[in-house]
């Protein structure tokens, strides 16, 4: 039984280290995840004081805002990667010649 517990704990450490490694490679992934969680949390908080707005409209607005945050983070990540690949990398190769 203790062997099962050890395998679970090593698996969670492994996933945490994978998340840290992945966030070092592309730093905008955790930013998008955090923004998504913040917008959903804010939407749930504002659910109480939505006034005359229908529940479906409020949920649609929250969903669109969360998706915009994630898509924005992905776009920034792609632009950052393209900058590193096509602007910084050629400059480094020209300096070494």
Residue that has been written with the tokens 């070092």 in this structure: 24
Query: Which region holds residue 53: left if phi is over 0, alpha if psi is between -120 and 50, else beta?
Result: beta
From first to last of the 97 residues of the chain, give the pLDDT tens digit.
455 554 455 555 788 888 788 778 778 888 888 888 999 899 888 888 888 889 899 899 999 999 999 899 889 988 988 888 888 877 766 665 5
Question: pTM of whole model > 0.75?
Answer: no
pLDDT confidence of residue 3: 52
pLDDT confidence of residue 65: 92
CB burial string 57-91: b at 16+ within 10 A, e below: eeeeebeeebeebbeebeeebeeeeeeeeeeeeee
pLDDT confidence of residue 64: 94
pLDDT confidence of residue 75: 92
**Dist CA 10 CA 22 (whole Å):** 18
């Amino acid at each position: 039984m203790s062997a099962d517990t050890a395998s679970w704990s090593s698996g969670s450490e492994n996933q945490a280290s994978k998340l840290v490694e992945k966030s070092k490679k592309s730093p905008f992934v955790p930013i998008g995840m955090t923004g998504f969680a913040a917008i959903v949390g804010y939407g749930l908080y504002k659910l109480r004081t939505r006034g005359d707005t229908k529940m479906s409209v409020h949920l649609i607005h929250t969903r669109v805002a969360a998706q915009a945050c994630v898509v924005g983070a992905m776009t920034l990540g792609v632009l950052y990667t393209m900058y590193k690949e096509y602007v910084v990398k050629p400059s480094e190769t020209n300096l070494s010649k």
